[in-house]
C-alpha cells in the first residue's frame, strides 16, 4: 500500500463518528525497550550486591509443639521485666531500657507466630537483639567512634548477628575493666561470665540439635541472666 493510499484511508476514517486515527511512531517502541533495559540493569546490579548488603538467612526451626512454644514465649518475658527495671539516668540509658523491652516483645511475637510471617518476625527478633547491643554500648560509653556507630546503623538490617557480636565484645571488655577497678562488680562479673559461657554453649547446641526441644528456652534464660548483670554496670 502506497503512502498516498494510507493517507486517503486515514482521512476517510477520521470522517467517521467516534473514530480517531493515531499515527504510528517507532519511537514508542524504542522508549519502551529502553525502559526495559534500564530496569533489567538495575535488577542485575541489585542481585550482584555484596554479601554485607544482603539480608541474613534466618533459621526458623523450633516451636514444634504448643509446650515448646509456651516455654519460649515465657522465657522471653524476663527481657521485658529487665527493661522495665533498667536504670534510666539519661537518654542513652532510657533508649537501652526500651530496647530490652523490644527484645522481649519481638521474641514473644516470633515464637508465637506461624506461617509466612514467621521468617520476617525472626529477622525482627535478630535485629532487635542487635539494636539492644548497640544501645548498651552507647549507654556504657557515650564517646564511641562515630564511624563505628554509623557502620553499625547501616549494617543493622542486613547483618544483625555481626553487629551483635561486635558490640557484645565491646561490652565484655568494658565489664571486665570495670570489675577490676570496682570490687562490688566482681560477683556480678563472675555470674556474667558463667551465663555468657552457658548461653554460648546453648546457642551452638540449638543450632546443632534443632530437633531437641527447650534448648532455645534455656538460652533465653542464660541470656536474661547475662543482661541482668549488665544492668549493674549502669547503676
In a domain, 178, yes or no: yes
Please tell me whether residue 52 adopts helix, strand or coil conformation. helix
Q: What is the pLDDT of residues 98-149, one digit of tens each?
A: 999 999 999 999 999 988 888 889 899 999 999 999 999 888 887 777 888 8
In a domain, 72, yes or no: yes
The closest of 114, 120, 103, 124 to 63, measured between CA atoms, is: 114
For residues 112 and 71, the answer to whether their CB atoms sit within 8 Å is no
In a domain, 209, yes or no: yes
Query: What is the Cα–Cα distance from 235 to 86, expressed in whole angstroms?
Result: 9
Q: What is the pLDDT of residues 18-65, one digit of tens each?
A: 444 444 555 444 556 666 766 666 666 656 544 444 555 555 567 889
In a domain, 193, yes or no: yes
pLDDT of residue 195: 93
Q: How far is CA 56 from the centre of its chain?
A: 8
Match 538490617 to its residue by C-alpha cell.
157
In a domain, 28, yes or no: no
Tell me how many domains the chain contains: 1
Domain boundaries, position 179: 61-234
Amino acid at each position: 500500500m502506497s503512502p498516498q493510499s494510507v493517507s486517503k484511508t486515514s482521512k476517510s476514517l477520521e470522517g467517521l463518528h467516534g473514530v480517531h486515527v493515531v499515527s504510528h511512531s517507532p519511537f514508542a517502541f524504542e522508549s519502551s525497550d529502553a525502559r526495559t533495559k534500564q530496569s533489567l540493569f538495575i535488577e542485575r546490579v541489585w542481585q550482584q550486591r555484596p554479601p554485607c548488603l544482603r539480608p541474613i538467612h534466618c533459621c526458623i526451626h523450633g516451636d514444634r509443639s504448643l509446650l515448646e512454644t509456651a516455654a519460649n514465649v515465657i522465657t522471653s518475658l524476663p527481657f521485658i521485666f529487665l527493661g522495665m527495671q533498667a536504670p534510666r539516668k539519661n537518654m542513652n540509658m532510657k533508649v537501652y531500657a526500651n530496647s530490652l523491652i523490644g527484645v522481649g516483645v519481638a521474641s514473644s511475637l516470633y515464637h508465637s507466630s506461624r506461617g509466612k510471617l514467621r521468617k520476617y518476625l525472626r529477622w525482627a527478633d535478630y535485629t532487635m537483639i542487635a539494636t539492644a547491643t548497640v544501645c548498651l554500648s552507647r549507654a556504657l560509653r557515650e564517646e564511641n567512634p562515630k564511624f563505628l556507630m554509623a557502620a553499625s546503623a547501616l549494617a543493622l538490617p542486613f547483618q544483625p548477628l555481626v553487629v551483635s557480636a561486635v558490640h557484645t565484645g565491646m561490652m565484655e571488655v568494658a565489664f571486665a575493666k570495670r570489675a577490676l577497678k570496682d570490687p562490688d562488680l566482681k560477683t556480678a562479673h563472675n555470674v556474667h561470665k558463667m551465663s555468657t559461657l552457658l548461653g554460648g554453649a546453648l546457642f551452638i547446641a540449638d543450632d546443632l540439635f534443632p530437633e531437641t526441644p527447650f534448648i532455645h528456652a534455656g538460652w533465653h534464660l542464660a541470656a536474661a541472666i547475662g543482661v541482668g548483670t549488665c544492668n549493674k554496670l549502669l547503676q
